[in-house]
Amino acid sequence: MSLDWTRTLNIHCVGEEGRAINVLKIGIPMNTLRFSAVLFMLLAGSAVGLRGELATFTVDPARSSVTLSGSASGATLQAQGAGSLEAVYDGTVVLDVGPTEIRFVGGSRIAPREPNSWQPGPKGADGSAPASYGGKAQIGSGFLSVSAVAATRRLLLDMLSPTPFALQSGSFSAEGLAFQFVETNNPVLDYKTSGLLSDRDGMALSGLATNRIAGASTLVTEGEVQTLTLKVSATYIFELLIPNDSSLSLSGQLVATRVVAAAPPSIVVSPVAPGATSMTLSWPAGFKLQKATRLGNPDWGDTGKSSPAVIPFSGDGEYFQVVPQ
């Protein structure tokens, strides 16, 4: 008797809220398909779905540091003092996490700390005040020169990616990721100039800077901790004296973590040969195999089998799950 292998059996594992958490496809001979479909179900607590899962990561300040560089009307930005162009970051990162891609969907809130005071004060006032970054620049020379000091305050950034980033073996490229100022936090660049041009004010920061670094970012899970490591290299262009004459560049890394549920156990189905009357199932140590004849008011019972186990095809169909021993 010839067998028709053009039919396939879809095996769906359904998680919370009806989301598919796994999909298997197994070829079954037509002489077996005249019986009810065999469904393998992994009924385990929680799991990351094939569709994206909206997840919130907490930034680890011990591993998150971003350096500021740039220019003011063509003059290189210099530090006002030790550490004035380096900042530790706090906050949260919101990601849509899927099995093969991730996406920054907005709602992240990351901010540099303001542990030190730098010049000038708010709106360019004399003296200094707490700030995240503090820089200075000497524009020109002689009697035509302009001296400038500037400090950033209340910086708060969101992160958005226009398209998902492909995730391959835990690595992804964050090139094109947009860092956007959260304007409701009133981020500002306070500055004061002296010399040929004397001015002082606080310039509101708005708009976004696009990440230029390719590769190197990762999303990995060890045990119940998932860690996001994001490499940062983004530049924001603005006007100090003339349009687009100045820039601020952020470079460094952000590390954020979250606790995830342990991965659910899986049932592995060995290849089924044409004409087979059984299949072989295997599952992780510490779990036992149960079966039921129905899913409505299920009658789960232990099979008493050890992994791997040979399971004959049933005329009435059977459902299988693994549960802790």
pLDDT of residue 11: 36
Q: Where are the domains of the chain?
A: 8-47+264-324, 53-259
pLDDT of residue 42: 34
* Assigned token pair, 312: 């004959």
Neighbour order of strands in the sheet with 78-79: 78-79, 133-139, 146-153, 188-195, 199-204
Q: Report the pLDDT value the prediction gives residue 259, as an integer from 0 to 100.
A: 94
Q: Residue 31 belongs to what H/E stretch?
A: helix 30-33
113-117 contact pairs (CB < 8 A, 24+) = 113/61, 113/87, 113/88, 113/89, 114/153, 115/88, 116/81, 116/83, 116/84
Predicted pLDDT at 263:
67
**Per-10-residue mean pLDDT, the chain, length 325:** 31 35 32 32 34 86 96 90 97 94 96 98 97 93 87 97 92 95 96 90 93 90 93 88 85 96 80 87 88 88 91 80 86
Closest alpha carbon to 216 in 184, 254, 261, 179: 254
Give the torsion sign (CA, 204, 208, 213, 219).
positive
Tokens of 95: 């990601």
The pLDDT value recorded for residue 142 is 79
pLDDT of residue 16: 36
For position 278, what pLDDT does the model report?
A: 87
- 305 three-class SS: coil
Do 320 and 289 contact (CB within 8 A), yes or no? yes
